[in-house]
Chain A
Amino acid sequence: SQQGEEDPQALSIQEGENATMNCSYKTSINNLQWYRQNSGRGLVHLILIRSNEREKHSGRLRVTLDTSKKSSSLLITASRAADTASYFCATAPNTGGFKTIFGAGTRLFVKA
C-alpha cells in the first residue's frame, strides 16, 4: 500500500502561474522527497526535506513540511510549459530499514 497521498490528482494552470501540490502521509518519517516524472520517463529527484526541517528552497521550488499534520507541500513558482509532468512525494518511514514509499502523484499540466 502507498503511504503518501497527493492532492490534487491533477492540476492545470497557465504558464507563469504558481502550482501547489500537497502530500499527506500516515506514519512518522525520517525525510520526505519530491520527484518529477515526465511522460514515458523515469523519476527525477527534485528535493529532500528532513523531519527536523520546516521549509526548503531549490530554484523555483519551495517545499514545506508539517510533521504534526503529517503533510508536505510543493510549490512551483512562475511555472513553465516544461514543468508539465507528474509529481510524486516519497516518504522514508522511521520504522527502521530504508524503505521509500511513493504516493500516487499529481499530474500537472502547464499551458503555454
Chain B
Amino acid sequence: EAGVVQSPRYKIIEKKQPVAFWCNPISGHNTLYWYRQNLGQGPELLIRYENEEAVDDSQLPKDRFSAERLKGVDSTLKIQPAELGDSAVYLCASKGGGAADTQYFGPGTRLTVL
C-alpha cells in the first residue's frame, strides 16, 4: 500500500512569492491534515479535512494561507505571499475511518523563504 505522497520535497522561494504544496493521502482515508513543523518543534495543525469539508482551520493564517481538497482526495496548501517566518516543514497526514486515531504522515515539504 502506498503511503502519503507529498510534493515537492524541497522548495526555496523569495519572500512575497507564492508557493503551493500538494498531498495525496492513503487511498480510502477520509481525514486529511496539514501541519507545520518549525525546527526543533512538534507539528502544529493548520487544517483538518473530513472528505472535502474543512472541519478545523482555526490555526490557518487565512490572510495568506489557503487550502482545498477537491473531490475529497488530493489536497493543496497555498501560501501567498510567503513571508520569512513561513520557513518550515509542511507535513500532510491522513487517517482512515473508525475510532483509531493513528495518522499516517508524508515525508513533508521543506520550505525555505529567503
Interface residues of A (CB under 8 A from B): 2, 4, 30-31, 33, 35, 40-45, 48, 88, 90, 92, 97-105
> Do B101 and A92 touch across chains, with their CB atoms under 8 A apart?
yes
Residue of B nearest to A31 (CB): B101
Contact A48/B42 with A42-B107, A42-B108 known, Cβ cut-off 8 Å = no
B42 to A100, Cβ gap below 8 A? Answer: no
Residues of A within 8 A of B48 (CB): 98-99
Contact assessment for B42 and A102 in the assembled complex, using a CB-CB cutoff below 8 Å:
yes
Give Cα distance in the complex from A107 to B4, angstroms. 24
Q: Which of B76-114 contact A (CB under 8 A)?
A: 91, 93, 100-108, 110
How far does the alpha carbon of A43 sit from the alpha carbon of B92 in the complex, in Å?
10
B residues with a Cβ closer than 8 A to A are 4, 31, 35, 40-45, 48, 55-56, 91, 93, 100-108, 110
A82 to B77, CA, bound (A): 33
Q: Is the CB of A42 within 8 A of B106?
A: yes
- Minimum CB distance partner of B105 in chain A: A42
Taking a contact as CB atoms under 8 Å apart, the answer to whether A43 and B43 are in contact is yes
Query: Does the CB pair B45–A100 fall under 8 Å?
Result: yes
A96 vs B55: C-alpha distance in the bound complex, in angstroms?
A: 12
